[in-house]
C-alpha cells in the first residue's frame, strides 16, 4: 500500500478510514463495484458503504487495538507487581519505570483529589497508561501495519487504522464513561436533591425564594450546558490532537513518493515530528487523566465543605 498506488487524496482518505463492520442495506455501492442483493452484515469496501451503515456499525480496528493495548497494560503491570513482590531489592529496568509512573499518578491524585474513594487512583492510572499506549501507536510508520493487514487478508484496499485515539468513538466513549461516573458520585455524595439544587441554584441565587423561581430556568440552562460540555470537550480534545498528528504523518508519507529530494526532506520531517509528537501523546494522556481527577473531585465536593 504505497503512495504511488493511489492519488494523494485517495491515500489520505484510505489511511483515515476505519475498518467498519455493519449492516449494509441492499443496493449498489462503490461506483457499482460492490452490489448487495439483500441487506446484510459485511465489511465496508468504501466510504459510501461506511456512511450507509450508519449507527449500526463497529470500527473493528479501533476496538481491536483498544482491547489489545488494554490487555498489554494489565499484563505488563501485573507481571511487574508479581516480580516486585518476589524481589525485595532495589527496582531496576521496567520495574523502576512502572513504579515511577505509579508514584507520579498517585502524587497527582493526592494533589487534586482530597476525598476518600478507592476507585479514583486506579482509574487515573488506567486512563493515563491506556491512553498513552493508544497514542504511542501514532509513532509507528503509517504504512507498516496497514500494509501487513492488507497482505494477510489478501485485500490490498483493506481499511486499517492503528491509532484508536484518532477515532472519536473511542475518545468520546471514554469521556462519557468518566461523565457518568461523575454524575453517579455527585448523586451519591450530595443526594438526588443536592444534585438538582446544584443544577438549578447556581450560579445565580437570591435570598428570596420567589426571585429564584425566575432564576432557576436560567441556571438550569447554564449548568446543563456546562455539564454536557465536559465529556464532549474531554473526548474531542484528545481526538483532535491525535487526528491532527496522524494527518501530518500521512502528509509526510506522501512526500516519499514525490522524488529523491522531497523523500530525503520527508525523512527529516518525519523524525522531527516524531520527536515533537512524543511530547503531545504524553501530554494528552496526562491532560485526560488530570481532568478526570478534577471532575471526580468536583463530584465529591459538597457545600458544607466550603
pLDDT of residue 136: 97
Active site residue 78: no
Catalytic member of 56, 87, 224, 233? 233
Q: What's the whole-model pTM score? A: 0.91
Active site residue 87: no
Instruction: Find the radius of gyration of the CA atoms of the chain.
Output: 24
Q: With 60 as the cut, is the pLDDT of residue 66 above it?
A: yes
Task: Give the whole-number percent of the chain exceeding pLDDT 70.
Answer: 95
Per-residue pLDDT tens over the stretch 120-139: 999 999 999 999 999 999 99
pLDDT of residue 256: 87
Q: Retrieve residue 24's grid coordinates.
A: 449494509
Per-residue pLDDT tens over the stretch 275-287: 999 999 999 999 9
Per-residue pLDDT tens over the stretch 24-37: 999 999 988 889 98
pLDDT of residue 5: 52
- What's the total number of domains in the chain? 1
Q: What is the DSSP-derived secondary structure letter of residue 28?
A: E
Q: With 70 as the cut, is the pLDDT of residue 1 above it?
A: no
pLDDT of residue 6: 67
Q: Are 219 and 276 in contact (CB under 8 A)?
A: no
Q: What angle do CA 211, 213, 218 make, to 5 degrees?
A: 100
Tell me the angle at which helices 120-136 and 260-300 cross, rounded to the nearest 10 degrees. Answer: 170
Q: With 50 as the cut, is the pLDDT of residue 231 above it?
A: yes
How do 27-29 and 57-59 pair as beta strands? unpaired
Catalytic member of 117, 169, 212, 237? 237
pLDDT of residue 305: 45
Catalytic member of 66, 186, 219, 241? 241
pLDDT of residue 2: 41
How do 40-43 and 57-59 pair as beta strands? unpaired
pLDDT of residue 4: 43
Cis bond leading into 203, ω under 30°? yes
Confidence of residue 3 (pLDDT cuts 50, 70, 90): very low
202 or 107: which leads in pLDDT: 107
Rounded distance, CA 116 to CA 300, Å?
A: 9
78 or 89: which leads in pLDDT: 78
- What is the domain extent for residue 73? 3-305
Per-residue pLDDT tens over the stretch 235-276: 999 999 999 999 999 999 998 877 888 889 989 999 999 999
Amino acid at each position: 500500500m504505497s503512495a504511488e498506488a493511489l492519488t494523494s487524496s485517495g491515500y489520505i482518505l484510505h489511511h483515515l478510514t476505519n475498518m467498519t463492520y455493519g449492516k449494509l442495506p441492499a443496493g449498489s455501492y462503490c461506483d457499482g463495484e460492490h452490489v448487495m442483493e439483500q441487506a446484510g452484515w459485511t465489511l465496508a469496501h468504501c466510504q459510501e458503504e461506511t456512511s450507509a451503515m450508519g449507527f449500526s456499525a463497529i470500527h473493528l480496528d479501533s476496538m481491536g487495538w483498544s482491547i489489545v493495548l488494554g490487555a498489554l497494560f494489565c499484563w505488563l503491570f501485573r507481571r511487574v507487581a508479581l516480580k516486585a513482590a518476589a524481589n525485595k531489592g532495589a527496582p531496576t529496568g521496567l520495574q523502576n519505570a512502572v513504579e515511577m509512573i505509579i508514584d507520579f499518578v498517585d502524587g497527582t491524585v493526592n494533589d487534586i483529589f482530597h476525598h476518600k474513594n478507592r476507585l479514583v487512583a486506579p482509574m487515573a492510572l488506567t486512563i493515563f497508561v491506556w491512553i498513552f499506549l493508544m497514542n504511542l501507536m501514532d509513532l509507528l510508520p503509517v504504512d507498516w501495519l496497514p500494509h501487513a493487514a492488507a497482505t494477510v487478508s489478501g485485500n490490498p484496499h483493506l481499511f486499517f487504522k492503528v491509532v484508536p485515539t484518532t477515532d472519536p468513538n473511542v475518545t468520546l466513549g471514554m469521556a462519557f464513561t468518566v461523565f457518568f461516573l461523575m454524575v453517579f458520585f455527585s448523586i451519591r455524595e450530595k443526594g438526588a436533591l443536592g444534585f438538582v439544587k446544584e443544577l438549578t441554584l447556581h450560579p445565580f441565587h437570591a435570598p428570596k425564594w420567589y426571585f429564584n423561581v425566575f432564576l432557576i430556568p436560567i441556571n438550569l440552562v447554564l449548568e446543563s450546558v456546562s455539564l454536557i460540555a465536559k465529556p464532549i470537550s474531554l473526548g474531542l480534545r484528545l481526538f483532535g490532537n491525535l487526528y491532527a498528528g496522524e494527518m501530518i504523518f500521512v502528509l509526510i508519507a506522501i512526500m516519499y513518493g514525490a522524488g529523491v529530494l522531497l523523500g530525503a526532506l520527508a525523512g527529516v520531517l518525519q523524525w522531527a515530528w516524531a520527536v515533537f509528537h512524543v511530547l503531545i501523546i504524553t501530554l494528552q494522556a496526562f491532560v485526560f487523566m488530570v481532568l478526570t481527577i478534577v471532575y471526580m473531585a468536583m463530584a465529591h465536593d459538597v457545600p458544607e465543605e466550603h
